[in-house]
Amino acid sequence: MTKAPVFHVNADDPEAVVRAGRMAFEYRERFGQDVVINLLCYRRRGHNEADDPSMTQPKMYQIINEMPSTRTLYARALVGRGDVTQEEADEALNAYHSKLDAIFAETQTAVPLVHSANVEGIELPSSQQGTEVVHGGVTAISRDTFELIANSFGNVPEGFTVHKKLQKLLQQRVEMGKSGKVNWGMGELLALGSVLLEGTNVRMSGQDVQRGTFVQRHAVLHDHLTDQEWSPLQNLAAEQGTLRIYNSLLSEYGVMGFEYGYSVERPDSLVVWEAQFGDFANGAQTIIDEFVSSSEQKWGQRSSLVLLLPHGYEGQGPDHSSARIERYLQLCAENNMTVAVPSTPASYFHLLRRHSQHRPYKPLVVISPKQLLRLKSATSSIEDFTEGSFQPVIGDRSGVNPAEVERLVLVSGRLYYDLEAERAKRGDTKTAIVTAEQLYPLPEAEIKAQLALYSNAQDVVWAQDEPANQGQWPFMALNLLPVIDRPVRLAARPASASPAAGTGKRHTAEHEVLLQQVFEG
């Protein structure tokens, strides 16, 4: 059925297991095909050290208990062949036990990690100092670097046939290097390209990431006639980092787990896993809970993995609308990771670049958009990339007079643009709209600064697309409300067991009510 060879091997014979493993590896390397090793073995212990499997399988475990262990059988074989003496075998066993005891003793005296919500000044114990230093770095890039990356999309290799639908896309990217109005896809490519130019390797995987789920990335192009691959970002300069971007199999658990491990072993790389839709990460929840969010606190193991989770309420139904922001915020504590919802291409650009430079390493969860990928108002100027840095909170962008503002709306992500359009439609000059680009670590000081700026605004609103029991509100109600000087009311969909409405008509009706809640109370 699988057209793969199967090597059956007795697991009580370690040398036979090694031989089977070598044969399987050589077969795969030579023929590029799958191969299966069928280990014929048994479980000597129960589910854990306290379990006694003889309670449920007495006859089987009576037989197993009378069988010598694999190590005993192999030691007898080595002694019988004259490869080692019995004394040498016993000595090896005792040495191994001593090593385990020493390692266990070390864990009892290990220096605990220091946690801080202040990413600009973490002081570590002397045993962990050295390379473990937090630094912000410079996230803006020069105009020359901006143009170099933009122009790379016009440097089509000789003889390479670009798909006719992508020729216009490449030309638009070149034009963005001159006129600005940089869209989301290009903002990301500018971040990746500039990181590569600084010598950092970039690795990205996920389902259809070369093109992008929403046909926005096209970091790797394919010759329309020969299927040859071309990546503009891989050819920016003679001395640059390496770009590795792979379309993965349909397994979130396996792929995210691999990328987590890769980010641990190669912290010098920017490692990104992208979900096809944000809720696809459900399939890797074990990796998120057991490793991404808690490995530093449990084992002192640090990861720099980036999770890109497309999220947005656009009337497409309960599946693939929500990335379940509330789940990630619930996992946040002790400065264990960053959760961000950038609202502009430039904000996303600075966020990725800041993350690539951040020490000590922390995972980054990006609640990325869908609709904003092509929304004309969701673009950034060239100056937004060549100046400034990532701002955890972005103030009102309309130029309202702070002294006249009576209502302050706090919001994250896509909904900002709907609120901005509704405010303009109403001719409202007494409402300020502020976006929280970073949710955790909570930008408490920046939000307080906005409240101070609009000191006359007694109507403070947290607005979100998600139902009241989901999204950012549960986290904000628990962590933000106790530390600010004014009450905050919620504008959101009613609490719901489902992430979103099942029909576009109902979604639209709910959205109109949401806008009324924000501007009319």
Q: Where in the chain is the domain with CATH 3.40.50.12470?
A: 143-387
* pLDDT (0 to 100) of residue 131: 38
Q: What is the dihedral of CA 187, 190, 191, 195, to 10 degrees?
A: 180
Q: Give the angle 512-514-520 at the CA atoms, nearest 5°.
A: 95
Nearest residue to 273 (alpha-carbon basis) of 209, 193, 355, 346: 209
* pLDDT (0 to 100) of residue 1: 80
Taking residues 134-162, report their average pLDDT: 90
The chain-wide mean pLDDT, for the chain, equals 92
Yes or no: say if 287 and 219 are a contact pair by the CB < 8 Å rule.
no
Residue 262 pLDDT greater than 80, yes or no: yes
Give the confidence band of 114 by pLDDT, cuts at 50, 70, 90: low
* pLDDT (0 to 100) of residue 136: 55
% of the chain residues with pLDDT over 70: 95
| Dihedral sign of CA atoms 215, 218, 222, 228 in order | negative
Q: Which two tokens stand for residue 257?
A: 């787990």
* pLDDT (0 to 100) of residue 56: 87
* pLDDT (0 to 100) of residue 259: 98
Strand partners, 229: 222
Which tens digits make up the pLDDT trace of 13-47? 999 999 999 999 999 999 999 999 999 999 888 87
Nearest residue to 305 (alpha-carbon basis) of 429, 203, 234, 419: 203
Environment class of 226 (CB within 10 Å of its CB; exposed 0-12, middle 13-18, buried 19+): exposed
Q: H or E element: which one contains 212?
A: none
Strand partners, 37: 7
What are the start-end ranges of the E strands in 32-164? 36-40
* pLDDT (0 to 100) of residue 499: 95
Pairing, β 459-467 against β 488-493: parallel
182 vs 134: which has the higher pLDDT: 182
* pLDDT (0 to 100) of residue 453: 97
Q: What is the CATH number of domain 143-387?
A: 3.40.50.12470
pTM of the model as a whole: 0.85
297: Cα separation from own chain's centroid = 18
* pLDDT (0 to 100) of residue 119: 40
Taking residues 442-450, report their average pLDDT: 97
Query: 3-state SS string over 391-427?
Result: CCEECCCCCCCHHHCCEEEEECCCHHHHHHHHHHHHC
Yes or no: say if 17 and 11 are a contact pair by the CB < 8 Å rule.
yes
Measured between alpha carbons, how far is 183 from 348 in angstroms, rounded to an integer? 11
* pLDDT (0 to 100) of residue 410: 98
Which tens digits make up the pLDDT trace of 359-405? 889 999 999 999 999 999 999 999 999 999 999 999 999 999 999 99
Which tens digits make up the pLDDT trace of 334-367? 999 999 999 999 999 999 999 999 888 999 999 9
Q: Which two tokens stand for residue 261?
A: 């491990």
Taking residues 52-66, report their average pLDDT: 92
* pLDDT (0 to 100) of residue 129: 35
Spatial CB neighbours of 229, under 8 Å, sequence gap ≥ 6: 220, 221, 222, 223
Of 3.40.50.970, 3.30.450.20, 3.40.50.11610, 3.30.365.10, the CATH number of 393-520 is 3.40.50.11610
* pLDDT (0 to 100) of residue 112: 62
Q: For the chain, first and last CA: distance in Å?
A: 64
Residue 118 pLDDT greater than 70, yes or no: no
Q: Which two tokens stand for residue 449?
A: 């600064």
CB neighbour burial string for 93-119, b if at least 16 within 10 angstroms, e if fewer: eeeeeeeeeeeeeeeeeeeebeeeeeb
Q: Where in the chain is the domain with CATH 3.40.50.11610?
A: 393-520
Nearest residue to 469 (alpha-carbon basis) of 500, 496, 507: 496
Measured between alpha carbons, how far is 54 from 113 in angstroms, rounded to an integer? 42
Q: Cis peptide leading into 360, omega within 30 of 0?
A: yes
Give the confidence band of 121 by pLDDT, cuts at 50, 70, 90: very low
